[in-house]
Structure 1
């Protein structure tokens, strides 16, 4: 019997919403999962196909934390890791933190050599005496099997994944001919598959996996943060933590797999007779959605009173939801992240709709860690604009002039916002952001563009912003507490500036 554990997308170092507590959540969730794998599942091997880290540019403290966690894994349990898009982009550096951990013997970093031969990937065997910067495959000798359980790694390839998979299939076959046939084969990969998660899409089709299935028994995936399985050989466990409000929905499963190989009942006496896969939810921070329709309220006061009644009515449901086992810590519900969504048509000026004040009240009332506001509302003026807009203005030669329509909408939104004094400039900023989004530019670039424009147009709104100065990255948590003279993390953390709402 051999037991493997499959976890992915740990994103260590992700300080979500600028909160130190969320950065700590990423570590504590992984720690609890590793402890469970070792103590309860009695795992022999840990598989991690990509996004061990949230960024390739690590602060020293994050690297120190993961090294401490890996030190708790017994030496006889290998941690096999492939590279994800957050660990490294498609123009890799000569040495990454994965290379560093590999050379220190804390992980085995697996990747394919794809450049030497355009037809076939090359996989070097792992040599513990000369580990190098990485390896191509790792053999696990298992009692009762004629051959090893062989684990290969394929790094993130983005749009080139389909091409790489054919190279990998040929490379695995060539490797087996050279090093002997394995009893069972695993491939670590970091990519999505079409149709497995609706609306997310993917870079790989099932057709592109056809040749791979001939040489791989278990495809251990990461990248998509929702659990899914396909064909009895493709498994994606979902990230241990949710990383946005969509991922926090109840229908998104998060956790890890345990895989038990059965060698004892093999009819041939030397091959894997079968395997059983079980999914286990991870201990994590809960998300809870509150929706509120603003349509019925004629004034800010009426809306605020009705909203507060609505949230109070949700309190019992929030407590019950957060009391589920995966959301508790030491038997107590953990403070949730609230996904606060406003919908409908606003009957008064958008500038009088103070979502920040409603969010702060909700955070306090619900004992929430954080409240993420999402507004899907229209003002009455925007609604009227859409119903009365001049067709001659937005239609040219029978075709919709989307630019003219967008400009009118953005101007109306700007006039209905707290930025109405410079509505034309704000409308231009919104239009530019929309064009960047249509061009599929990076979210970070869009955010920085809007934030920079906001600072130029409204410098007075940045007066109360406090810079979030990182703690000393080399000081441990106990020493930090002693040196802080009682100041809490929440008090020391500055608020981060929000970009303009559209």
Structure 2
């Protein structure tokens, strides 16, 4: 019974959040997955269904990370079969890529069908160790593995051609697996170009028993033959495990069919999303203290240290929302949380008052009344002046008139000071 590990979207070298330790997380996750579910499980082979690397241009340290992982598998006698994804495919009009480099040095078997044929000839040549190239390979464990390319918007048309080419291949092992880097319809929102089930069905009709997908970072499976493990590690806080399940598939093909287990128990950076609701009765200082107390409690409970933490402040504030220094507050919360990365989302809205001045065909009110109401609304939106908004508004109208009369600054200052001290006198 052949057994294999199916991973995708490893994204070695991802540098989001500009933290070297975060980049290292992707290497640690990949290495741990291979140790636990390929080497320890003694699988026959490993599939990488696209996006081994985050960037087409790979830094030396990232290349070394990939070599370390593949050297472990080579010492264990486990072959690695891979295809290019949209992140690591060769640039247009070039003949090589870093994944091709890994193949030339025999770290992976890169399966690449021909780009296209005009005469209807097969897209698949057998992979040979001499050429270190080919579109499919027949393994001793009884599995034929087919590769593909990143096809983008042309994927539906290419699937038809790939399926036709598969049917032209000579008889092979009893089981057929194919790697394909593309997403299926209905799995995530706002994803254009996803494939409908009917678009990939020609592959099943051509004999593919297990379609090993990559590209979408969320785990899903369809119809008992289409499997997408999701990314090895979350690429952003939005892909935390609670919202985006993901992992690696440990697969066994036996006489009764396919048994694919999603494995998630391996090294992953903890990600915590927290929410704090603002109260419009709070002053700015009170809201800041509430955020500090919340994070202190989370840190004390052990949730935030060494994690990637996002705090979202939402609700309604009773002061000008722009008065809150988000950067300074974030830096203070980051230090208190002891998190690797701390993200602060300030989504609270300000309090707005709007008084209709004209209605039912009435004459517009005098200018003074409009000014008085405008000042009152602005003051009422700030809880520091809310209780005295009417009195202060009258004083502001008077102050404006004095300014227009070119009264001495000392007189203006005296009135302003009086308003702030006791606006009712």
Asked whether the two chains share a fold, i.e. TM above 0.5, the reply is yes
Q: Tell me the equivalent position of 2:312.
A: 341
Q: How far 1:4 sits from its partner (Å)?
A: 0.4
For residues 269-307 of structure 1, the C-alpha deviation after alignment (integer angstroms, 9 at most, x for no partner) is xxxx42311110032001101112224344320111122
Q: Equivalent residues in 2 for 1:251-330 (5 A)?
A: 251-262=243-254, 266=255, 273-281=256-264, 282-315=266-299, 319=303
Give the corresponding residue for 1:128. Answer: 129
Aligned to 2:81: 80
* Aligned mates of 1:119, 1:287 — CA distance in 2: 50
Alpha-carbon displacement from aligned partner over 1:176-227 (angstroms, at most 9, x marks no partner): xxx2143111111111100133554652111101211112100101111111
Query: What is the CA–CA distance in structure 2 between the aligned matches of 1:8 and 1:36, rounded to whole Å?
Result: 16
Aligned pair in 2 of structure 1 residues 120, 170: CA closer, same or farther (>3 Å)? farther
Cα distance change, pair 39–375 in 1 and its aligned pair in 2 (3 A): same
Match of 1:31 in 2: 31
Q: C-alpha offsets along residues 79-133 of structure 1, whole Å, 9 cap, x if unaligned?
A: 01111111026725211111111111110111221322375651111111221xx
1:167 CA displacement: 1.3
Equivalent runs, 1:288-437 vs 2, <5 Å:
288-315=272-299, 319=303, 335-381=306-352
Specify the SS of the correspondent of 1:246. Answer: helix
Unmatched runs of 5 consecutive residues or more in structure 1: 143-147, 267-272, 323-333, 391-502
8 A Cα contact 2:178 2:212, kept in partner: yes
- What is aligned with 2:365? none
Q: TM-score scaled to structure 2, two decimals?
A: 0.78
Q: 3-state DSSP class of the match of 2:167?
A: helix
Conserved 8 A contact 2:122-2:168: no
Distance in 2 of aligned mates of 1:171 and 1:111: 13
SS, match of residue 5 in structure 1: strand
**Partners of 1:365 and 1:235 in 2: how far apart?**
41
Q: Equivalents in 1 of 2:223, 2:192: separation in Å?
A: 18
Secondary structure in structure 2 of the residue aligned to 1:34: helix
The aligned residue for residue 487 of structure 1 is none
Find the counterpart in structure 1 of residue 63 from structure 2.
Answer: 63
2:4 is matched with which residue? 4
Contact 2:90 2:96 in 1 (8 A): no
Structure 1 pair 371–97 and aligned structure 2 pair: CA distance change class (3 A): same
Q: 1:77 to 1:339 in 2, by over 3 A?
A: same
- The residue aligned with 1:471 is none
Report what 1:165 is aligned to. Answer: 159
Cα 1:359–1:103 change in 2 (3 A) is same
- Distance in 2 (CA, whole Å) between partners of 1:296 and 1:248 is 31
Tell me, in whole angstroms, the C-alpha distance in 1 between the residues paired with 2:208 and 2:241: 32
- Name the SS for the 2:240 alignment partner: coil
SS at match of 1:64: helix
Alignment-derived partner of residue 250 in structure 1 = 242
Could you tell me the TM-score, scaled by structure 1's length? 0.66
Q: How far, CA to CA, are the matches of 1:168 and 1:96 in structure 2?
A: 23
Q: CA deviation at 1:316?
A: 5.8
Q: Aligned equivalents of 2:74 and 2:91: distance in 1?
A: 33
**Cα distance in 1 for residues equivalent to 2:122 and 2:340:** 47
Question: What is the distance in 2 between the residues matched to 1:346 and 1:91?
Answer: 51
Q: Distance in 2 between matches of 1:137 and 1:169?
A: 13
SS in 2 for 1:28: helix
Q: 1:193 to 1:120 in 2, by over 3 A?
A: farther
- Between the aligned partners of 1:243 and 1:34, the Cα distance in structure 2 is 19
Partner of 1:227: 219
Q: 1:375 to 1:189 in 2, by over 3 A?
A: farther
Q: After superposition, give the CA deviation of every residue in 1:422-455 in whole Å (9 maximum; x if it has no partner).
A: xxxxxxxxxxxxxxxxxxxxxxxxxxxxxxxxxx
Q: CA deviation at 1:351?
A: 3.1
> Is the contact between residue 161 and residue 203 of structure 1 (CA under 8 Å) also seen in structure 2?
no
- Contact kept, 8 Å, 2:321 with 2:348, in 1: the verdict is no
Secondary structure of 2:137's match? strand
Structure 2 residue runs of 5 or longer lacking an equivalent are: 359-425
Cα distance change of structure 1 residues 201 and 229 upon mapping to structure 2, 3 Å threshold: farther
Separation in structure 2 between the aligned mates of residue 375 and residue 213 of structure 1, nearest angstrom: 48
**Are the structure 2 counterparts of residues 375 and 121 from structure 1 closer, same or farther at C-alpha, using a change threshold of 3 Å?**
farther
Is 1:103 the counterpart of 2:104? The answer is: yes
Calculate the aligned-residue CA RMSD, in Å: 2.4
- Partners of 1:249 and 1:288 within 8 A in 2: no
Structure 1 counterpart SS, 2:332: helix
Counterpart selection for 2:148 from 154, 163, 169: 154
SS at match of 2:211: strand
SS in 2 for 1:356: helix
Distance in structure 1 (CA, Å) of the matches to 2:281 and 2:73: 57
